[in-house]
Amino acid sequence: MYRMDPIQYRLPQSRIPQAWYNIQPDLPKPLAPVLHPGTLKPIGPDDLTPLFPMSLILQEVSTEREIEIPEEVRQVYAQWRPSPLFRARRLEKVLDTPARIYYKYEGVSPAGSHKPNTAVAQAYYNKKEGAKRLITETGAGQWGSALAMACAFFGLECKVYMVRVSYDQKPYRRALMEVFGASVTASPSDETESGRAILAQNPQSNGSLGIAISEAVEAAAKDPHTKYALGSFLNHVLLHQTVIGLEAMEQMALAGDEPDVIIGCTGGGSNFAGLAMPYLGRKIRGQCQAHVVAVEPAACPSLTKGKFTYDFADTGHLTPLVKMHTLGSSFIPPGIHAGGLRYHGMAPLVSHVMDLGLIEASAVQQLDAFAAGIQFARAEGIIPAPEANHAVAGAISEALRAKQEGKQRTILFNLSGHGHFDMQSYIDYQAGKLQNYDYPAEEIAMALAGLPTVA
Amino acid sequence: MYRMDPIQYRLPQSRIPQAWYNIQPDLPKPLAPVLHPGTLKPIGPDDLTPLFPMSLILQEVSTEREIEIPEEVRQVYAQWRPSPLFRARRLEKVLDTPARIYYKYEGVSPAGSHKPNTAVAQAYYNKKEGAKRLITETGAGQWGSALAMACAFFGLECKVYMVRVSYDQKPYRRALMEVFGASVTASPSDETESGRAILAQNPQSNGSLGIAISEAVEAAAKDPHTKYALGSFLNHVLLHQTVIGLEAMEQMALAGDEPDVIIGCTGGGSNFAGLAMPYLGRKIRGQCQAHVVAVEPAACPSLTKGKFTYDFADTGHLTPLVKMHTLGSSFIPPGIHAGGLRYHGMAPLVSHVMDLGLIEASAVQQLDAFAAGIQFARAEGIIPAPEANHAVAGAISEALRAKQEGKQRTILFNLSGHGHFDMQSYIDYQAGKLQNYDYPAEEIAMALAGLPTVA
């Protein structure tokens, strides 16, 4: 006799998606081309071969709607996928809201976030095409630990440039990467020209994702057996994350419900895109009316305050130019604890769907994000990562609006990772040591003024 | 087309067990009675009412084989139960063993271990019988955070005495309890007579579970609205953990396999018992031939080196006398990182089945446990808790023996929790700062010499 309220919607190993969903062929207007910073002409696949294996370069520009997931990748996914979808009934009760709140929980992966969805795929393709070593950067450490794990599984060496502020704040994240066998260096470092240039200006630099990308790209380009791996931003990375949304659709159907609002936090944009893109595909085809909301930190508000234009993906200006919402590649965001969201730009695909009016964006202050995270933890038991707290805050405010309006509403958000390696930020928050950051208008204006001019 | 090797065996929410399994009616010989330390006569339910609600006292001595799990408890279990059973195919490959290795993974609970299985049940019964506050102790912090979470769910206050060495080594475990709203005090403390007595002898005391139990019991007994909660050792606690083994049996059937060896780590005995007891019930009925192995730390070897006799459960001698394998209640184990295994005694039920010859025991050194944990992490992605590393070491050594003997063997072990809050121990291990501890023969001999004499 089974009378419990369903709160978990699980799928068996056999329901791991067979293919990633690529939104590019469904877009009403194609993505702007990626430009060579010298010639300002579109780059071709060959320009990227020093950094990426050809399979990933082809995925970057693919116009196939479905891209088959290799069996070896699905086999590793089976360690934690399909990830659970939960209904947050206890949180609904605490909020006393008529809204139904669902969350897709990506913190069940061994590295604790959505990042292994792409780390495993990237390690697989690199190994297959002969790479011996991967170099990357990491902000909060979620991406670095995911790649370190994936490299351990596929027998690749792994080197990670970790943003200095996280390296200092999160020694246990670093330890996790080292347990997986990776080597970790604080960025900016004196190992690269890019790092030395920043240190010359400011020996106490906190670092940023933009700086760490420069260092990793520079180091990877030096060695033919070494490739570079990026944990967000690029089309192929977002593509690999679409397993989140594809599974969520099947699980929402199990729940007999349909989302009215879909929410994810955005830094580079990958976990948001992973949940949102499959739904946006439906939206473009007129099969879904949901509001899709990206929630970003008020201290680093690329979607709500940035400019949609060509910019570099890194601070050292080693990357091609990409069209995106940017705060300016020389902008170094304040040291908020949601290190994974401290990035000047937004993924071109996410920027593009924003420009097309398919999604909305809002910004949340640091203290509000932590307050939401603690409310969530006490109701649901799970401690969210500081990044994910932005999505939680977005979901709670939608639920409270539904209460105010006296309307039912179905909210689905992506709980992209747990906060087990971020407890210092919770200690600091509870001790009253964290602060909000005003929109850094002046620094951003300066950074935007320095952008390259593209006709 | 589904061609992946199955590695996960999941059950839906509806397959959460409806009843816990109580081995007591199946035992060929009953448990020795619990004695009043003054009269040396068996205690009755009324002796325990200052500390526990009546439902739990009755479970402690129940002779019902199946005890129904309340729907409210199963509803909370649904946050993470049924927990997954995995086949460790990548580990098998690394070990190059003919053995098949399965593990039940309890680290998926929000608090990260098996402890919420009983914490939720205890909070439920206490709330139902009118308690306002629970007091407990914690070693590594797994139990404390589980109870803190359960109290948050059921609207109870929670106070935790945390063993000093863990309090200092694991600030993030403490932070987790505080995020859930619990208050945490390092033990020994000056808040209780038991604590002050220890501090008077040794102001620098590292503490131990035995000391912290004395403090929690003393504090709880003072207030009629406050009850005491224990995270291991007692019959009702082990009972609540049997969901582990009950689910595992169903999952092993899904895998089409049967364990030849069943392994768990033992401190107080609860995660081991949770997996083992349902299988031992079958073993008693002649339906299972598996070897059942308890793996304990060499530094605190109650099953392999202790005496099976009456002793106190705590250092301050506030508890009744129970018959168990003990190293002597005044023995304070060395400060190994597997804080959850630093306890002088073994659960009476586990001690009893050991005495009946139904299980075996072995001891593992600290450095071997960590080496096993790192090998496991690199193969499977999951970082085990230092306690669980003992079970991992046991499983790996069984798999290597199978390889040596060239025999197939099916190994099932309980991965009782993750090590996300134990990364300092991995840092110390990798830096060569950890040590093995010889069997502390002299201290144990002294502690055993001081045991009470019971006819």
User: pLDDT tens digit string along B103-154?
Assistant: 999 999 999 999 999 999 999 999 999 999 999 999 889 999 999 999 999 9
Residues A376-392, mean pLDDT to the nearest whole number: 98
Query: Which of A292 and A4 is assigned the larger pLDDT?
Result: A292
Residues 6+ apart with CB under 8 A from B429: B337, B367, B370, B374
**pLDDT reported for residue B209:** 86
DSSP letter at A107 equals G
Residue A258 pLDDT more than 70? yes
Residues B317-332, mean pLDDT to the nearest whole number: 94
**pLDDT reported for residue B305:** 94
**pLDDT reported for residue A455:** 64
| Helix axes A270-284 and A348-355, enclosed angle (nearest 10) | 40
Q: Is A88 on the interface with B (CB under 8 A)?
A: no
Residue A242 pLDDT more than 60? yes
Q: For chain A, what are the domain ranges?
A: 7-16+69-112+236-449
Residue A307 pLDDT more than 80? yes
- Pair B211, B314: CB distance under 8 Å: yes
Residue contacts between A and B (CB atoms, under 8 Å): 143
CATH annotation of B7-16+69-112+236-449: 3.40.50.1100
In this prediction, residue B2 has a pLDDT band, given cuts at 50, 70 and 90, of low
**pLDDT reported for residue B249:** 98
Q: Which of A4, A175, A178 sits opposite B13 (nearest CB)?
A: A4
Structure tokens belonging to residue A441: 């208008």
- Residues in chain A with CB shorter than 8 Å from the CB of B85 are none
How would DSSP label each residue in B239-287? HHHTHHHHHHHHHHHHTT---SEEEEE-SSSHHHHHHHHHHHHHHHTTS
In this prediction, residue B208 has a pLDDT band, given cuts at 50, 70 and 90, of confident
Q: Is B175 on the interface with A (CB under 8 A)?
A: yes
**pLDDT reported for residue A209:** 86
**Bridge partners, A157 (sequence order):** A133
A77 vs chain B: nearest CA distance in angstroms? 10
Searching chain A, which residue's CA lies closest to the CA of residue B106?
A108
Question: Which H or E run includes A83?
Answer: none
User: pLDDT tens digit string along B238-274?
Assistant: 999 999 999 999 999 999 999 999 999 999 999 999 9
d(CA B317, CA B110): 34
**pLDDT reported for residue A2:** 52
User: pLDDT tens digit string along A405-452?
Assistant: 999 999 999 999 999 999 999 999 999 999 999 888 898 999 999 888
User: pLDDT tens digit string along B88-115?
Assistant: 999 999 999 999 999 999 999 999 999 9
The whole-chain average pLDDT of chain B stands at 95
Share of chain A above pLDDT 70, in %: 99
Interface touch B179/A383, C-beta < 8 Å: yes
pTM: 0.96
Residue B3 pLDDT more than 80? no
**pLDDT reported for residue A440:** 82
In this prediction, residue B455 has a pLDDT band, given cuts at 50, 70 and 90, of low
Q: Which of B13, B18, B378 sits opposite A181 (nearest CB)?
A: B378
d(CA A78, CA A81): 5
**pLDDT reported for residue A337:** 86
How would DSSP label each residue in A120-133? HHHHHHHHHTT--E
Lowest mean pLDDT among A31-40, A98-107, A128-137, B166-175: B166-175
Interface touch A8/B175, C-beta < 8 Å: no
Query: Which of B362 and B335 is assigned the larger pLDDT?
Result: B362
The whole-chain average pLDDT of chain A stands at 95
User: pLDDT tens digit string along A89-118?
Assistant: 999 999 999 999 999 999 999 999 999 999
Residues 6+ apart with CB under 8 A from B229: B119, B122, B123, B126, B134, B135, B136, B147
Q: Report which of A359, A278, A253 is spatially closest to residue A20, judged by C-alpha positions.
A: A278
d(CA B113, CA B108): 7
CA dihedral (A402, A403, A408, A412) positive or negative: positive
